[in-house]
Amino acid sequence: MNRRGFIKAASFGAAGLTAACSRAKTGVEEELPSQLGAKLSAYGERSKHETAKRLVPELKRPEIGSSTTPLAETEGIITPASLHFERHHAGVPQIDPAMHTLLVQGLVDRPVVYTMAELKRLPSESHIYFVECSGNSGREWKTPGAGDVQKGFGLASCSEWTGVPVRVLLEEAGLQKEAKWMLAEGADACKMFRSLPLEKVLKDGLVAYAQNGEAIRPSQGYPLRLIVPGYEGNTNVKWLRQLKVVDQPYMAKDETSKYTDLLPDGRARQFTFEMDAKSVITHPSGGRKLPGPGFYEIRGLAWSGRGRVEKVEVSVDGGATWKAAQLQEPRLPMAFTRFRMPWEWAGNEVQIVSRAVDETGYVQPSREELTDARGSNSNYHYNGRKIWRIAADGEVHSV
């Protein structure tokens, strides 16, 4: 192009740009508020345009059941307290913190009763941990095909928990040499209680009174709950009222008739506390649709009850080949880890799947590997890989 042609083209381009900017400006001005906005509020609310919510099924006995977290609609590793999944066996009790106490007794030299005010005077810690119901993904044992992430994986959430380490309370009480286990009991109507190895709760157990910077919500155990990092959800006893040190597990109703895994030979796995390494692709995922071929970022979550997630691999050919995904920092033990991988979709039908590897070297198994080892009689502790099928029209389905 000669000089005169270049100037002419540049002038035409500038005029077009000016016209485009003029139109854009008009559009922006039309979108701007013409009146004063909302006034200050005492407690923050989200925008009316944000609609992510827990899935609450209709039940004949609504005090017994679960709600699930919309994991595919969350960002980062922290789950908002308002979206943290619920699991109740007798409804949500309304407890006055001024009247609530925590009893520490059993094989200790100095049994003690703490008020909430006294607990909050003790040394505190804050940690980010996931909590996962052992029944999360349980339907995959028998009928693989959870329609979407929330229905299949929504009984897991991750928060920052603040409270008093269990070791502070038990050491202050004076542990006796026979002490080997601890019973934790809740104050709800079903009196949930579980036996826990003393070694574990002394290592990293937390008596928590805050979640994500504010008091724990009633559905999460207000005013006090136990956090046992990496252990199955119902060991994290809510509405905590008692810690009793004992010399053996008590074989409570919630650890014998429930929360056990029946094997094909008739034996049952019991006290399978740690939640094994697990991952799920949250985008693209079931129930969604890709608008067309092109670039996408495959994203998801991984976690392990035995420590930190060290690697996540993603396959876009149903598991025939694998590629390492990028892990987003921070990567913390017993916490959610975000992973992502760039991907160019050609518009053909594909199957995508992820697998996590934790710091112990454990590799998340396929469904076939898991059922070969344990059968399909259980309702708990399912951590098989989840495959999503993307059809040629962009619709994403569960496999």
Domain boundary among 241, 269, 297: 269
Q: What 8-state DSSP symbol labels residue 255?
A: G
Which region, left, alpha or beta, applies to residue 38 given φ > 0 means left and ψ of -120 to 50 means alpha? Answer: beta
- Residue 58 forms part of a structural domain: no
* Whether residue 88 is found in the same domain as residue 203: yes
Token digits of residue 288: 């969604």
* Whether residue 108 is found in the same domain as residue 238: yes
Identify whether 330 is preceded by a cis peptide bond (ω within 30 of 0): yes
Domain boundary among 219, 249, 269: 269
* Whether residue 290 is found in the same domain as residue 265: no
We report the CATH number of the domain holding residue 336 as 2.60.40.650
* Whether residue 113 is found in the same domain as residue 210: yes
- Residue 388 forms part of a structural domain: yes
* Whether residue 73 is found in the same domain as residue 177: yes
Domain boundary among 238, 269, 300: 269
* Whether residue 228 is found in the same domain as residue 154: yes
β strands within 100-155, DSSP E: 101-106, 112-115, 125-132
- pTM of the complete model: 0.90
Greatest extent of the chain over all pairs of C-alpha atoms, in Å: 96
* Whether residue 355 is found in the same domain as residue 285: yes
* Whether residue 226 is found in the same domain as residue 289: no
Given a contact cutoff of 8 angstroms between Cβ atoms, the answer to whether 91 and 63 are in contact is yes
Domain that holds residue 133: 65-269
**What does each of the 399 residues of the chain score in pLDDT, given as a tens digit?**
454 554 444 444 444 444 444 445 555 556 677 788 889 999 999 999 999 999 998 888 888 999 999 999 999 999 999 999 999 999 999 999 999 999 999 999 999 999 999 999 999 999 999 999 999 999 898 877 778 999 999 999 999 999 999 999 999 999 999 999 999 999 999 999 999 999 999 999 999 999 999 999 999 999 999 999 999 999 999 999 999 999 999 998 888 888 888 898 888 899 999 999 999 999 999 999 999 999 999 999 999 999 999 999 999 999 999 999 999 999 999 999 999 999 999 999 999 999 999 999 999 999 999 999 999 888 899 999 999 999 999 999 999
> Total domain count for the chain?
2
* Whether residue 254 is found in the same domain as residue 298: no
- Residue 283 forms part of a structural domain: yes
Q: Where are the alpha helices (DSSP H) in the chain?
A: 3-31, 116-119, 149-153, 166-173, 198-204, 367-374
- Residue 240 forms part of a structural domain: yes
* Whether residue 153 is found in the same domain as residue 90: yes
* Whether residue 291 is found in the same domain as residue 333: yes
We report the CATH number of the domain holding residue 96 as 3.90.420.10
